[in-house]
Amino acid sequence: MKQILKIGTRESELAVWQATQVQNLLKENGVESELVYIKSEGDVDTVTPLYELGVQGIFTKTLDAALLKKKIDIAVHSMKDVPTQLAKGIKQAAVLKRGSHKDILVLHPDLAVTEGRLLRDSFLWSSGGGRRDTVSHLVIPLRKKYKEGETEQVIIGTSSIRRIAQWLNRNKEDKIENLRGNINTRLRKLKESNWHGAIFAAAGLERINLRPENSVDLDWMLPAPAQGAIMAVCREDDSMSFEICQKFNDANTALCTKLEREFLRTLLGGCSTPISALAKVRGTKIIFKGNICSPDGSDLIEIEKRIPIEICGQVGIDAAQEILKNPTAQNIIQAIRNEKS
């Protein structure tokens, strides 16, 4: 009897979308499969901020446990959620072609579309020495809730320590509110709040057609390592599942995410840190950008490397080691550890 591969997935709309992509790729290669729904610890607790949960593998370990118990054959993860050190007995089987790596600011629905467009035109500064307007100057006049001579504090929703750090680095007077839950839940919480906006991964909203019109690309915000990428993993001893998945492995995405995750692991190791990285293939070269930011946004160290693909294998590690030579980096790392303790 023909074997049907079991694909483990979380129950959220986005997770199911991702697992379905793997299912479709398997079908294209003549392999039948079925989805197996598993609730993760991160889905159960949608109140506690991620950085208080001990989030290393919070969204992946339940699936990985099911994989090791042979309840499923393949687990599908948002790659940015996967610890840089995979669980013993599990290996990377494939990385799908990357979607958008960007973070976006979704404005509160009270901001009309025309106002959102005005904000968008003003907000798109570059990360390379562009305009440094604070979001307060841009949002508050549009909210029409200020008095002459007074400034309303801008409130932004996110639970990501990386997004918090980078946002506060540019907008230190703003207030951050914890925002947890799946995409639909977070959009609802934003609508019901008195916040000005919330930060989301573009890929997640775009994949399930939920990106609002009044949203803004944060081109200056460097993403989490492997953001926008989907990973399929299998058991180390399951050569059949591995070989099947390798048929739809995207080599460029696999390379870039490897470099980004090595940068993260070399600096600090965890996925719940204010560490960002992005590698891109441009012709015959890799363009690598990385940064580390103190949790309160007060200090930020950035690095950029351009290197031929044929000798790029260590660029993530080399970039991290170069940052570690900066005395400020040690202060940032200590601040991150203090936040976690």
Q: Do domains 1-98+229-249 and 103-217 have the same CATH topology?
A: yes
Q: Are 124 and 138 in contact (CB under 8 A)?
A: no
Amino acid 111: pLDDT? 64
Amino acid 3: pLDDT? 82
- CATH, domain range 103-217: 3.40.190.10
**Given 43, 45, 64, 81, the catalytic residue:** 81
In this structure, whether the domain defined by 1-98+229-249 belongs to CATH 2.60.40.420 is answered with no
What's the distance, Cα to Cα, between the start and end of the chain in Å? 53
Q: Is 0.75 surpassed by the pTM of this model?
A: yes
Rounded to 5 degrees, what are φ and ψ at 241?
Answer: -65, -40
Q: What would you report as the CA-atom Rg of the chain, rounded to the nearest whole angstrom?
A: 20
3-state secondary structure of 256: helix
Q: Is 299 a catalytic residue?
A: no
Tokens 């600090």 — which residue? 268
Q: Are 288 and 304 in contact (CB under 8 A)?
A: yes
* H runs (alpha helix) in the chain: 13-28, 41-44, 61-68, 113-123, 135-143, 161-170, 183-192, 202-207, 239-246, 251-267, 315-324, 327-340
Q: Which residues pair with 278 in a beta bridge?
A: 289
23-75 pLDDT tens trace = 999 999 999 999 999 976 544 444 443 344 344 455 688 899 999 999 999 99
Amino acid 153: pLDDT? 77
Q: Are 259 and 286 in contact (CB under 8 A)?
A: yes
Q: What are the residue ranges spanned by the domains of the chain?
A: 1-98+229-249, 103-217, 250-341
Question: In terms of CATH architecture, what is 250-341?
Answer: 2-Layer Sandwich (3.30)
Q: Which two tokens stand for residue 243?
A: 């070989």
Tell whether the model's pLDDT for residue 269 goes beyond 80: no
Q: How many CA atoms lie within 13 A of 198 on its CB side?
A: 29
Residue with more model confidence, 114 or 164: 164
